[in-house]
């Protein structure tokens, strides 16, 4: 039975999806150009069901932000501080451990750590943070430091990327988050985040992490000044890196939020629509045939839209989160965290099978659907 009607403008792409064939750049561009959101969603849902059946995952996780001081000046960022503002902060490893002790529970499976770039904090500060967190919570998976942070601390420490990652891994680092990817294409990257490591460097750092046994995630920031071809280029570069080193776990498209940042003010950019958010998830699922999971980040897109996204190729809704600062600084109106029962209900109400996971998708608890 055909996935979509033979008269659809996407019929030839549907044939490829049905046959399990890899989609091309041109296919990806046509998917982004199409407004047949239900057909695109059906194709993405078909691919996701092949990989994950009815299962939707979530994790009991805790966000940790060591600092909001940052040496870089990304045009889309609403979070950074120079260091002289009343709300600027840098937490010591001891302060971070004490704060986490008040928040996390015995079911916490993951610490997700990202922050700013502080000129006087080299790799040893971050390694000590990890060591102390591991000493307190040895069974919690530590996913920390974007490729941009790795590049910056390597420069400060006068080390290579590999040496920096080895020090952090030996301290207890388990994985890298996917942040800092933004848009790889230089035409966009030099306008929105020119100080960051370039797209090739971001991919190489993740490749080195994979070689060292560290799993990583991948993201794409969309809905700002990028064109559709830049999105497709970004996704295919991720796919190529996965072909080479195979260590990506999850892809997370991130919608640009325009409040409190230069990019939103100067360009008069607006919020992405639910239509655009769903299409980005679905196209990512279709092009990234070598990624097992696509995540709907509910903090960015609201829990209700994340629930709808479960029919658009999504197999993960992130987790409890507890404390999220970066998106809320950019105007996010969502909650700071969701309970385990709220996530289970969200997934069950969509007719899917909720499974609480650890950071590597091992099953912690299976709930009825």
Tens of pLDDT, residues 75-114: 877 778 988 889 899 999 999 999 888 777 778 899 999 9
What pLDDT does 266 receive?
A: 63
Task: Give the lowest-confidence range in 96-110, 146-160, 289-303, 341-355.
Answer: 96-110
Sheet of 316-319, strand order = 316-319, 55-59, 353-357, 363-366
281, two tokens: 């998830």
Give the mean pLDDT of 66-77.
87
Q: Which range, 62-76, 236-250, 266-280, 299-313, has the best average confidence (pLDDT)?
A: 236-250
Q: Which range, 3-17, 49-63, 259-273, 277-291, has the best average confidence (pLDDT)?
A: 277-291
Convert 316-353 to b/e letters by CB count within 10 Å (16 or more is b): bbbbbbbebbbbbbbebebeebbebeebbbbbeebebb
pLDDT band, residue 267 (cuts 50/70/90): low
The 3-state secondary structure of the chain reads CCCCCCCCCCHHHHHHHHHCCCCCHHHHHHHHHCCCHHHHHHHHHHHHHHHHCCEEEEECEEEECCECECCCCCCCCCCCECCCCCCCCECCHHHHHHHHHHHCCCCCCEEEECCCCCCCCCHHHHHHHHHHHHHHCCCCEEEECCHHHHHHHHHHHCCCHHHHHHHHHHHCCCEECCCCCCCCCHHHHHHHCCCCCCHHHHHHHHHHHHHCCCEEEEEEEECCCCCHHHHHHHHHHHHHHHHHHCCEEEEEEEECCCCCCHHHHHHCCCCCCHHHHHHHHHHHHHHCCCCCEEECCHHHHCHHHHHHHHHCCCCEEEECCCCCCHHHHCCCCCCCCCCHHHHHHHHHHCCCEEEEECCCCCEEEECCC
What pLDDT does 332 receive?
A: 39
53-366 homologous superfamily:
Aldolase class I (3.20.20.70)
pLDDT band, residue 73 (cuts 50/70/90): confident
What pLDDT does 7 receive?
A: 61
pLDDT band, residue 270 (cuts 50/70/90): confident
Tens of pLDDT, residues 2-48: 687 666 889 999 999 999 999 999 999 999 999 999 999 999 999 99
Torsion sign across C-alpha atoms 168, 171, 175, 178: negative
Tens of pLDDT, residues 112-152: 999 999 999 999 999 999 999 999 999 999 999 999 999 99
27, two tokens: 């296919």
Give the mean pLDDT of 167-176.
98
Q: Residue 89, class by beta-carbon neighbours within 10 Å (0-12 exposed, 13-18 middle, 19+ buried)?
A: middle
Neighbours of 46 (CB within 10 A): 17
What pLDDT does 28 receive?
A: 98
Give the mean pLDDT of 208-233.
97
What pLDDT does 325 receive?
A: 44
What pLDDT does 330 receive?
A: 39
227, two tokens: 């064109």
Tell me the backbone φ, ψ of residue 59, rounded to 5 degrees: -135, 145
What pLDDT does 274 receive?
A: 94
- Percent of the chain exceeding pLDDT 90 equals 73
What pLDDT does 212 receive?
A: 98
What pLDDT does 105 receive?
A: 73
Please give the mean pLDDT across all residues of the chain: 91
Q: Quote the pTM value.
A: 0.92
Give the mean pLDDT of 333-341.
65
Structural domain spans, the chain: 53-366
């Amino acid at each position: 039975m055909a996935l979509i009607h033979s008269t659809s403008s996407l019929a030839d792409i549907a044939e490829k999806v049905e046959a399990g064939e890899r989609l091309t750049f041109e296919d990806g561009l046509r998917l982004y150009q199409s407004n047949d959101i239900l057909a695109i969603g059906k194709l993405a849902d078909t691919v996701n069901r092949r990989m994950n059946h009815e299962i939707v995952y979530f994790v009991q996780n805790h966000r940790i932000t060591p600092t909001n001081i940052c040496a870089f000046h990304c045009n889309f960022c609403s979070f950074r501080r120079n260091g002289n503002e009343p709300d600027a902060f840098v937490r010591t490893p001891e302060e971070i451990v004490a704060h986490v002790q008040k928040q996390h529970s015995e079911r916490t499976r993951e610490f997700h750590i990202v922050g700013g770039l502080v000129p006087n904090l080299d790799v040893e500060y971050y390694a000590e943070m990890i060591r102390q967190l591991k000493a307190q919570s040895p069974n919690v998976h530590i996913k920390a430091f974007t490729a941009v942070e790795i590049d910056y601390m390597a420069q400060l420490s006068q080390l290579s990327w590999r040496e920096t990652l080895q020090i952090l891994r030996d301290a207890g680092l388990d994985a890298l988050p996917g942040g800092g990817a933004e848009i790889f294409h230089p035409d966009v990257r030099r306008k929105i985040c020119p100080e960051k490591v370039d797209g090739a460097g971001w991919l190489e750092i993740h490749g080195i992490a994979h070689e060292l046994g560290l799993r990583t995630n991948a993201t794409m920031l969309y809905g700002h000044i990028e064109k559709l071809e830049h999105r497709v280029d970004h996704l295919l570069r991720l796919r190529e890196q996965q072909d080479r080193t195979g260590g990506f776990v999850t892809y997370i498209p991130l919608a640009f939020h325009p409040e409190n940042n230069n990019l939103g003010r100067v360009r008069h950019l607006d919020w992405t629509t639910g239509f655009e958010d769903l299409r980005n998830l679905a196209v990512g699922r279709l092009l990234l045939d070598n990624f097992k999971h696509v995540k709907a980040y509910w903090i960015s897109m609201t829990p209700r839209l994340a629930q709808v996204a479960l029919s658009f190729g999504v197999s993960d809704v992130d987790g409890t989160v507890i404390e999220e600062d970066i998106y809320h600084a950019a105007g996010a109106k969502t909650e700071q965290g969701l309970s385990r029962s709220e996530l289970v209900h969200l997934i069950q109400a969509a007719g899917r099978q909720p499974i609480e996971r650890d950071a590597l998708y091992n099953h912690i608890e299976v709930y009825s659907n």
